[in-house]
Structure 1
């Protein structure tokens, strides 16, 4: 009699990504970052190591996903903004960003993410690479083609600074102001970075001529 149980590790499925995240969270909770390998995570999740690479760009992204509990991977933010008119995406980015970090069950996750990242040099480098490749490039799609990378970097710096004040330093009134008000205030600056004129020279060249 032959066994009907399939051999080998679990193939990919809609639940596989979450299984990998759960396995990673269990290992990162009990071991230092530099001692956890992607192969060890694959063994714990009972999946082929290739599937870990299929769902995640590397250990840094998987760590961020597991510790920040972004069941929403960060791309959820950008899917929320895709259909918003180009001249209103600054505020939309703020609303989407805060919606992800303030969803039920994620209280304090941003602070955990920042603390973990700063405490682990390897993770800091990995997170920087992930943020550059996975997040800045997507913000750049919303930016004016002129100096697109600079625009995306400036917008990203504004959002991270806002999050540090609101979630980590808990500085008033940024902490308690509503998300919609936050979008009004920060959205103007983000929109300027995305589509406005960045240099004083541009503004002078676009100003009406002064009559004598």
Structure 2
């Protein structure tokens, strides 16, 4: 009998065989977490259920991701990754058309079923649970809004970015989550034409108080 076989594995620790699977196992767990959070929301999803769906034990989930909150944050970041490309997308072009570029990009992410489905799951979890909402806020603030603000060489850049985001998030909620008509069925190009000037105003107009 080898030393490894003779030594019992401590309770609460993943086996050496499991940890040696490496990145592939981590991705399997992350995929299972995204599916579980999407299907059941943050509050009703357990680490045990995620481990079962991934075909591993709970200790391995904790080994790679720590707490349930940290695992949710990792799943959110993967799901939200397409939207995080917005700062790069709006940099190519003049400042006076940045509103149209941002509007078209964000609505385009929501229009694509492949990116819309995980976003819907994130938003629903964030609406229904404060822990999930806090994770979502940190990600959006640090990796999206602050980066958009960094592209604006204007006073109150952070507030400008947040107001523009509020406009677009509100439209996304009504169109894709709540599905209010006629907004839900409106032509995308018509929406861009109507919304882009407002987003542009938030980003580059309306000078702050003296």
TM bucket normalised to smaller: 0.5 to 0.7
User: Matches of 1:65 and 1:48 in 2, distance apart?
Assistant: 17
Give the aligned partner of residue 207 of structure 1. none
Deviations along 1:55-83, one digit per CA (max 9) or x if unpaired, are xx9444324256xx45x443233333231
Alignment partner of 2:83 out of 55, 74, 91: 74
Seen in structure 2, the aligned counterparts of structure 1 residues 152 and 32 have a Cα distance that, compared at 3 Å, is: closer
- What SS is found at the alignment partner of 1:143? coil
RMSD between aligned alpha carbons?
Answer: 3.6
Structure 1 position 158 matched with structure 2 position 167: yes
Instruction: Give matches, 1:1-212, under 5 Å.
Output: 8-11=19-22, 19-28=28-37, 29=39, 33=43, 36=46, 44=54, 58-65=70-77, 69-70=79-80, 72-106=81-115, 109-199=118-208
- What SS is found at the alignment partner of 2:20? coil
More helix by share: 2
Could you tell me the TM-score, scaled by structure 1's length? 0.67
Aligned length: 186
User: Matches of 1:20 and 1:98 in 2, distance apart?
Assistant: 30
Deviations along 1:19-77, one digit per CA (max 9) or x if unpaired, are 4531322553578548756xx87xx5988978769xxx9444324256xx45x443233
- What SS is found at the alignment partner of 2:151? coil
Seen in structure 2, the aligned counterparts of structure 1 residues 109 and 193 have a Cα distance that, compared at 3 Å, is: same
User: Matches of 1:26 and 1:177 in 2, distance apart?
Assistant: 30
Structure 2: any 5+ residue segments left out of the alignment?
1-15
User: Matches of 1:48 and 1:181 in 2, distance apart?
Assistant: 45
Seen in structure 2, the aligned counterparts of structure 1 residues 52 and 73 have a Cα distance that, compared at 3 Å, is: farther
User: Matches of 1:121 and 1:198 in 2, distance apart?
Assistant: 34
Q: CA deviation at 1:109?
A: 4.7
User: Matches of 2:131 and 2:195 in 1, distance apart?
Assistant: 31
Q: CA deviation at 1:18?
A: 5.1
- What SS is found at the alignment partner of 2:152? coil
User: Matches of 2:127 and 2:154 in 1, distance apart?
Assistant: 33
Could you tell me the TM-score, scaled by structure 2's length? 0.68
